[in-house]
Structure 1
Amino acid sequence: MSTPAIRAVLVDDEVLARLSLRQALAAHPQVDIAGECGNAADALQAIRLLHPDLVILDIQMPGMNGFELLRRLPADALPLVVFASAFDQHALQAFDAGAVDYLLKPIDQARFDLCMQRIGQRLHRLSQHATPPRHTAFAAAEPFVQRFSIRVGEHLRVVRVEDIDWIAADGNYVRLHLAGTALLHRDTLKNVEATLDPARFLRIHRSTMVNIDRIKEWHPLFHGDAEIVLHDGTRLTLSRRFRDGARHRLGLR
């Protein structure tokens, strides 16, 4: 009787790192690589679509990092997670986040084989319990907000997410820019980002997010930065830190 395949998704912004994982997995024919992603935003969509048993995940990536990715997934439908990082200082946080293992790059085959042994044992234990399919929790969850309620004077104004042009940090709060108006929303940019659909909103700066549908032009600048021009003429800075993720999301070569 053949061993059931373990469906895996590999997430790393470096092509060579994903190749290294593929080579390490070649010794484990029971693993089916269902998908590869170069950033966390794409991985979020792939995990929801493919329902993998295992995700091997980098931590430091452009835009959303590995920990932020996990926070956006329903806790009761998480695949098994193995972090693969070039840095050892995140190990404690990784295990606090529920990771099964933490691998250091470059990947050591013997250490990787031990990790896969743990994965197999964990999946075997899970299979002994009758539980609903993992994907049912994803289907039932409503992962992204569709509206914000913003206090304006003595009343609350309901703002549709699709109407927001861009979002800027303002101290511990954010300002939602839409139709020539800036509304103060009493939440941090980090928390707001975690509630928004990454297919719709793009982080372009440590203090700025933008509605992708509002982007009209992209102008490269010096030192790796760029300028984003929206349809209403608003000009925003795309910092070098978020450039690679933005290029991918905007279909730029």
Structure 2
Amino acid sequence: MTKYAVVVVDDEGPSLRRVVKMINEHPMLELMGTSMSMKGAIQTVNEIKPDILLIDIQLKDGDAFGVIKGIKGHFFGSIIFITAYDHFALKAFDVGVMDYLLKPFNAERFNKALTKATSMDEERYHQILDSYNPSRFTEPDILIVPEGVKKYFLKRDTIQYICSEGYYANFIMEGEKKVLRISLKKLEKVLPDNFIRINKSTILNYHNIKELVNNISLTKIIMKDGNEFHVSDGYKEAFEKACDHFMR
């Protein structure tokens, strides 16, 4: 089941624990981090890049609007304000906040806000994911990668390889690196045939392989940027078939 990454910011311990409990009980949410300060919230959100940010408006060292300013250009998910005061509502929606939870709120109101933030259920997510099959593209040079409620448009040929790291996939491209929260298993569904998985944590762009070294014990791949990778036994047969296909 697809889960949406959530970060919660609240400087009141009991309130924070209550929201965390609601997230943990929600089948489509995954708690990725918490913070009790504006400074900590900015750092946490910029590092994790969650799908959803639940944040109390008034914090001891600032407010939610300061957090929004600090994460601008790094966070592109949905924001839900949680607060005991309603006089910030108009300003909240002015900065693009998805919903406004007034304390104390119950689980039903919480789930309604999260439904609005995700804007899709599990079935719809997979329908959208399937629609991004590269064979259906009218623009073959562009690869659309879904990440929770967001979509990224990447130039396919600039991607050299993709390495997983925990919950994230590191896209190593010509001149830059992009980190997205998506599994390699899901990526295999949207990547074209020239992207070949060689082990549990690595997918390579065949067109960026510089050298292939085969011997009895291992298969070593040297990429155009000089980085080296090994093909694990479980992926060796599929890798060899893919190479045969491109060498015809």
TM-score with structure 2 length normalisation?
0.49
**TM-score, scaled to structure 1:** 0.48
Q: Which has the higher contact order (CA 8 A, sep 6+)?
A: 1
